[in-house]
Copies of this chain bind each other. A is one copy, B any other.
Amino acid sequence: MQLLFLGTGAGIPSKQRNTSALALKLLEERGTVWLFDCGEATQHQILHTTLKPRKIEKIFITHLHGDHIFGLPGLLGSRSFQGGDEPLEIYGPTGIKEFVETFLRISRTHLTYDIVFHEQLEGVIFEDGTMRVEAALLDHVIPSHGFRIIQKPLPPKLNMERATSLGVPKGPLLAKLKGGEAVVLEDGTTIKSEDVTEASQPGFVVAILGDTRYCEAAVALSRDADVVVHEATFDAETQKLAKDYGHSTILDAAKTASRAGAKTLIANHISARFLPDDEKILIAQVKDVHPRTWIARDFAEYEWHQQAHKLKKKMENHR
């Protein structure tokens, strides 16, 4: 899994930061990419990466402000143009379906794939054998949501060397052992699953939160997460402004991550008022509250290392 930030700005695009979009790359896990928010020119940002629009399986929209959705029309069209024919699932607040259907109709855009809309963003909104996504309402000036993406524990891995050395023949017995069962060999020996499998590996927990004031729902979604992506439109010195406009300071974000016991915080949705040099100041404001805090930048990528159970910076600005 990698988190690739495509747009990390707030409100309007600047030369440094585009409006919101974040790709959760699940290429190893499920061969697809999940996109969180889709500000204008997200497809342009994608042109500078190795992402393929047709690989996007799900799009999650935190809220309907323009800086989070105005890239949808173009991206949906390009996904079609570039040969996407797998259905696309869009999860967003009520109104997202009307928005998409209106621009498709008026621009006479005929997609090569179907869209399934999910406008109910409370509780478990997606679950299959390997992943679960939970959503909750945050506290912004319009309904804005956060998502908790949970990778289920990975099934035990078969250690083929050990199985062979213990005399387990290739075939159905191996499958049983992998599935957790014990088996009896022809010579009467009993082999337990744990004799030939590595321990089951815990999955990751990622919290991706939309625009919000400091709130309990954000803490709950971030509980023990490996990484929390939280907006930080303001800095610690403009706390009142943040509250008035329904936003967070970087200190709010750090408090949320700290109270939730989250490992890493990535501060996102950074105002154009802050220049690259100001990032040190922002980081300094939270070093006592949540030391492992990073400031997102466009094209910054973070990689999940399953064995180490840790998120690491991959590279920055591969534009």
Contact = CB atoms under 8 A, between A and B. Distances in A.
A106 interface: yes
Interface in A86-127: 95-96, 98-99, 102-103, 106-109
Interface SS, A side:
loop
A77 B295 CA distance: 26
Interface stretch (A24-32, A41-49, A129-137): A41-49
A96 B106 CA distance: 8
Interface in A4-32: 11-15, 18-19
Contacts of A73: 40, 66, 70
A109 B66 contact: yes
Contacts of A98: 102, 106
B66 A77 contact: yes
A81 interface: yes
Contacts of A71: 40
A183 interface: no
A63 to B, nearest CB: 9
A298 to B, nearest CB: 12
A106 B93 CA distance: 10
A13 B99 contact: no
Copies in the complex: 2
A142 interface: yes
A69 interface: yes
Question: Looking at A11, A15, A64, which has the most chain B CB atoms within 10 Å of its CB?
Answer: A64
A66 B13 contact: no
Contacts of A12: 43, 74, 77-78, 81
28 contacts: A11-B81, A12-B43, A12-B81, A13-B43, A14-B47, A15-B48, A40-B40, A40-B41, A40-B44, A40-B71, A40-B73, A41-B41, A41-B44, A64-B106, A65-B107, A65-B108, A66-B103, A66-B107, A69-B107, A70-B77, A70-B103, A95-B106, A96-B106, A98-B102, A98-B106, A99-B106, A102-B103, A103-B103
Minimum-distance CB pairs A-B, first 10: A41-B41, A40-B74, A66-B107, A70-B73, A102-B102, A99-B106, A95-B106, A70-B74, A12-B78, A66-B77
